[in-house]
Amino acid sequence: MSVYYYPVYAVQQTSASENKIIIYSEAGFNGRITEFKKNVLNLEEKGITQISSFQIIGAPWVVYFEKNYTGNQMIFEEGDYPSYDKGRFLSMKIITEDLGVKPEIQIFEDTNYGGKSVTLQHETNLHNINFGDTASSHKVISGTWVLYEHVDRQGKQLLCLPGQEVPNYCEIGFNDVISHVRPLVSKS
């Protein structure tokens, strides 16, 4: 009689307490090191005056170029960023939404959910579906999405949380400019 032993692999599961961002004052993960596990309203108050590289472990983060979660934003997922040169961000939030759900967003040609619309479940270059530089409002049906000003995930970014409805892009400086959208999905 044979007995088989199956290898048991630990399930890679990042608990909330393991989610963090480590910020370095110099490139290549050098210089002053500061670690954050929670939202930061004002990085300057935390002594962060220079950001030249960082590492993200676990959940993604959205960083803002003004304090109090305002100004232009950028979204970063888990990984190493050894030479960051997009400028110092002044506040940031951890993205705690469940990224394991099936994402879906509806984007509209006009404000207040008017005109033509498209419903998307995957990363999409909007120019490929004749919807580039057109959108003026959206409804996030599910999942967490990032909208981009330009194709190939370039230009200004906008984080869109599950259930969020934005009726008028004119009010957020995003009217008729978005060219690319993608859902944040779980890496595990």
Provide the minimum distance between the beta carbon of 21 and Ca ion in the complex, in angstroms, as a whole number: 35
Residue whose CB is less far from Ca ion, 61 or 131: 131
Number of residues this chain uses to bind Ca ion (CB under 5 A)? 2
Stretch that binds Ca ion, among 21-29, 47-55, 130-138, 147-155 (CB under 5 A): 130-138
Q: Which long-range contacts (CB under 8 A, 24 or more apart) does 162-165 make?
A: 162/97, 162/101, 164/138, 164/139, 164/140, 165/113, 165/137, 165/138, 165/139, 165/140
Q: Which stretch binds Ca ion (CB under 5 A): 31-39, 40-48, 63-71, 131-139?
A: 131-139
Q: What is the phi-psi region of residue 85: left when phi exceeds 0, alpha when psi lies from -120 to 50, beta otherwise? A: alpha
Residues 6+ apart with CB under 8 A from 60: 75, 76, 77, 78, 94, 95, 99, 184
Query: Based on CB atoms, which residue is closest to Ca ion, 26 or 110?
Result: 110
176 lies in the site for Ca ion, by CB under 5 A: yes
Q: Annotate each residue in 77-116 with x if it binds Ca ion (CB under 5 A) or - if it does not, as one string.
A: ----------------------------------------
User: Interface with Ca ion by CB under 5 A: which residues?
Assistant: 136, 176
